[in-house]
Amino acid sequence: MSWEKKTLDQLGSVSRGKSKHRPRNDPKLFGGQYPFIQTADVKNANFYITEYSDTYNETGLAQSKLWDVGTLCITIAANIADTGILAIPACFPDSIIGFIPYGGISDVRFVKYCFDMLQQDCKQISQGTAQDNLSWQKLSTIEFPAPPIETQRRIADILSAYDDLIENNRKQIKLLEEAAQRLYKEWFVDLRFPGHEHTKIVDGVPEGWGIKPLSSIADVIMGQSPKSEFYNQTGEGLPFHQGVGSYGNRFVKDETYSTAFTRIAESGSILFSVRAPVGRLNITKNKIVIGRGVAAINHKNGFQSFLFYMLKERFFKDNLVGNGSIFASISKDELLNQQFMMPCKDTIAQYNKVAQSIDDKIATSDRQIELLTQARDRLLPKLMGGEVKV
């Protein structure tokens, strides 16, 4: 089946976000009630954009624009052609394009799925000499399938059923992580750990505990990006991760693993961002090569769940340590010398057992997300190409 093709401006109104004030990070623009969406917020959204990293006040709004719920946000700089649909009214800068569908002509969900399918094409035409940039001139050359609106809606309904399940699993993961973090705070910040009623507190520290550096319980491997000639996109070797949330399509070949050009994170390692900003956390499911924006951290006695939530408790609030001249950054020595209250080994083991059971449930939900994503992505081109009738 062959459908008519149309450019984006034939499907709806298209315009860039506004952020006219310079400098853009002027503090007097921020801290109000108006969500300010940035490219990273679009990238991190699953389907609908509900979370944001900052807010504008009245001054910020005056030099920007408040976009309505249902606007499709399309990134054209930094993260190229990532998309998300606003579930809240929000402002965004000119590194994001806003798309509003024409009634009876296009369904915003369908257009988003078109971008999901064509994102790699968008990236290929956006290559610049200094930084990838997808201008409107480039974006306007892309043609999208434009079946009748009823067909668009049926396709969007089918695909969004997968995204709804993915979002439910994401919410479940968030609740589980919050439960483990609350337990950590109860035990190790509020000091209401099992047996606390019978434990002597000396100078604010339970007997048998102590203030110790991270180096006393953990090993740290700092990432180092390989030279460009060692990369490939054919799947040879190990996946390469430049950042904690980076899941690119680059790989590093086997013969470079033991050289000074690479650093390896084993499966189950805690990934820790060491710059821009410091302290973002994740756990790698596979053995990977890590770039210079990442450190891999492992507990010396295998208490990874305890270590993860200990680091999260510190860096969730205080995520800008270090003395980087351009980015907020932290060196290996600075990281290893970070001081923490260290419980006795038995209490750590007891918490780790409980937290690990929570993390196992998180891993199950994460696997469900992976399977649902794969199923949706297999179905996407078949629906868009008319191979599967709706």
Tell me which residue has tokens 């790989």. Answer: 251
Alpha helices in 282-343 (DSSP H): 304-315, 332-336
Tell me which residue has tokens 């419980």. Answer: 343
Q: Is residue 226 part of a domain?
A: yes
Q: Is residue 181 part of a domain?
A: no
Considering its fold, how many domains does the chain have in total? Answer: 2
Res 164 pLDDT > 70: yes
Q: Is residue 199 part of a domain?
A: no
Residue 28 — pLDDT band, cuts 50, 70, 90? very high
94-119 pLDDT, tens digit each: 999 999 999 999 999 999 999 998 77
Number of H helices, E strands in the chain: 9, 22
Res 317 pLDDT > 60: no
248-279 pLDDT, tens digit each: 678 887 666 555 556 889 999 999 999 867 88
220-253 pLDDT, tens digit each: 999 987 777 777 777 788 888 887 766 667 888 7
State whether 23 and 132 are in the same domain: yes
Rounded to an integer, what distance in angstroms lies between the CA atom of residue 73 and that of residue 66? Answer: 13
Rounded to an integer, what distance in angstroms lies between the CA atom of residue 270 and that of residue 304? Answer: 8
Q: Is residue 154 part of a domain?
A: no
State whether 247 and 329 are in the same domain: yes
State whether 325 and 222 are in the same domain: yes
Query: Pick from 97, 117, 144: which residue ends a domain?
Result: 144
Mean pLDDT of 123-135: 50
> What pLDDT score does 323 carry?
45
> What pLDDT score does 320 carry?
43
Query: Pick from 144, 172, 187: which residue ends a domain?
Result: 144
- pTM for this prediction: 0.81
State whether 32 and 126 are in the same domain: yes
State whether 15 and 140 are in the same domain: yes
Instruction: Kindly report the CATH number assigned to the domain that includes residue 300.
Output: 3.90.220.20
Q: Is residue 354 part of a domain?
A: no
Look at 5 and 251; give whichever has higher pLDDT. Answer: 5
Residue 153 — pLDDT band, cuts 50, 70, 90? very high
State whether 227 and 116 are in the same domain: no
Rounded to an integer, what distance in angstroms lies between the CA atom of residue 153 and that of residue 68? Answer: 20
**CA neighbor of 176 nearest in space, from 362, 313, 312:** 362
Mean pLDDT of 188-208: 93
Q: Is residue 202 part of a domain?
A: no
Number of neighbours of residue 290 by Cβ within 10 angstroms:
30
State whether 137 and 259 are in the same domain: no
Least confident of 170-174, 287-291, 352-356: 287-291
> What pLDDT score does 325 carry?
40
What φ, ψ does residue 89 adopt, rounded to 5°? -65, 140
Mean pLDDT of 291-320: 87
State whether 319 and 236 are in the same domain: yes
Q: Integer distance in angstroms from the first to the last C-alpha of the chain?
A: 12
Residue 244 belongs to domain spanning: 210-342
State whether 138 and 20 are in the same domain: yes
Q: Is residue 198 part of a domain?
A: no
State whether 104 and 224 are in the same domain: no
> What pLDDT score does 122 carry?
54
State whether 228 and 321 are in the same domain: yes
> What pLDDT score does 324 carry?
42
**How do beta strands 48-49 and 79-86 pair?**
parallel
CB 365 within 8 A of CB 173: yes
> What pLDDT score does 118 carry?
79
Mean pLDDT of 180-208: 94
Alpha helices in the chain (DSSP H): 8-11, 39-44, 58-62, 108-125, 136-139, 149-188, 304-315, 332-336, 345-384
State whether 215 and 135 are in the same domain: no
Percent residues over pLDDT 70 in the chain? 88
Rounded to an integer, what distance in angstroms lies between the CA atom of residue 208 and that of residue 202? Answer: 10
C-alpha dist (Å) from residue 27 to 38, 158, 171, 278: 16, 44, 32, 21
Residue 319 — pLDDT band, cuts 50, 70, 90? very low
Query: Pick from 302, 323, 342: which residue ends a domain?
Result: 342
Rounded to an integer, what distance in angstroms lies between the CA atom of residue 349 and that of residue 351? Answer: 6
Q: Is residue 100 part of a domain?
A: yes
Residue 355 — pLDDT band, cuts 50, 70, 90? very high
